[in-house]
């Protein structure tokens, strides 16, 4: 089972999604149309309380009509990239994932500090699932 995870980005104070989030959502739609993952986890909590909406809920609203609602799962507790991994990995494993595809911006996926790929591998190992294939999908 292929589960995609879209990593959120801090919301703007007025409750709008950031340009980085919009870029990630465009990639999520592109990936969904090309690969048809079984589920898409939208990962992001209320990192900016002034926004009044979690990143996951804002992403769900922005994706309305682009990806079927029954394919979207919200992970709305994470406030950091480490928490994206900590909270999304158990959801993906609970769905039966044998493949997880991270969807984020290129700068996020390539950064040295708090690298999403390393963090997801760490939490897969902690959950006894180092065999789960981990991929990234980014703008080329």
For all residues of the chain together, what is the average pLDDT? Answer: 95
- The 10s digit of each residue's pLDDT in 95-127 is 999 999 999 988 888 888 889 999 999 999 999
Query: In the prediction, which pLDDT does 113 show?
Result: 84
- The 10s digit of each residue's pLDDT in 42-74 is 999 999 999 999 999 999 999 999 999 999 999
Architecture of domain 6-82+95-137: 3-Layer(aba) Sandwich (3.40)
Q: What percent of the chain has pLDDT over 90?
A: 89
- Burial (CB count within 10 angstroms: exposed 0-12, middle 13-18, buried 19+), residue 61: exposed
C-beta atoms surrounding 90 within 10 Å: 14
| Calculated CA dihedral for residues 29, 38, 45, 79, nearest 10 degrees | -100
Spans of all domains in the chain: 6-82+95-137
């Amino acid at each position: 089972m292929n589960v995609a995870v879209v990593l959120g980005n801090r919301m703007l104070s007025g409750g709008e999604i950031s340009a980085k989030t919009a870029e990630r959502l465009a990639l999520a739609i592109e990936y969904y149309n090309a690969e048809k993952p079984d589920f898409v986890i939208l990962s992001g909590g209320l990192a900016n309380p002034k926004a009044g909406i979690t990143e996951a809920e804002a992403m769900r609203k922005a994706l309305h009509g682009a990806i079927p609602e029954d394919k979207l799962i919200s992970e709305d507790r994470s406030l950091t990239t480490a928490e994206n991994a900590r909270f999304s990995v158990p959801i993906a494993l609970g769905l039966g994932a044998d493949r997880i595809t991270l969807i984020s911006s290129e700068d996020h996926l390539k950064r040295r500090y708090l690298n999403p790929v390393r963090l997801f591998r760490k939490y897969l190992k902690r959950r006894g699932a180092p065999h789960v294939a981990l991929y990234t999908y980014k703008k080329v």
